[in-house]
Amino acid sequence: MIGVITDRDIVCRVVAEGKNPAAHTAESCMTQPVISVSEESPVDQVVSVMEGYRIRRVPVLDDQGACAGIIAQADIARYTATGTVAELVRAVSETRTPNGRRRASAL
């Protein structure tokens, strides 16, 4: 995998800057490097990666490095305890102040 692109990437890197999406490629607005987990990663490690990088989805790579799927917050919600989900949502939704301190997102 060389990059990941989400609807948020397109909005933040193209649309919000007043650019024409039809004039851009996936490569021009994808996120690099790819943050990923392996198929063998335990769920608590996946949650830790998502919290640490503040991402809502993470590609799952097989032992050959190919994308085997994507795990999202909703998947975590279906298969883990409520407290785990609440902590993940809180961590991913945090914003940082200019000095790098965490600040909860406004509702």
pLDDT digits (tens, 9 = 90+) for 11-60: 989 999 999 989 999 999 998 999 999 999 999 899 999 989 988 899 99
Whole-number average pLDDT of the chain: 84
Domain ranges of the chain: 1-33, 35-107
CATH fold of 35-107: CBS-domain (3.10.580)
Q: How far apart are CA 29 and CA 13, in angstroms?
A: 6
pLDDT, average across residues 62-69? 95
Q: Is the Cβ–Cβ distance between 5 and 26 less than 8 Å?
A: yes
Tokens 């490097």, residue located: 33
Crossing angle (nearest 10°) for helices 43-53 and 82-93: 20
Q: What are phi and psi of 48, to 5 degrees?
A: -60, -45
Instruction: Give the model's confidence band at 91: pLDDT under 50 very low, under 70 low, under 90 confident, else very high.
Output: confident
Q: How far apart are CA 63 and CA 38, in angstroms?
A: 7
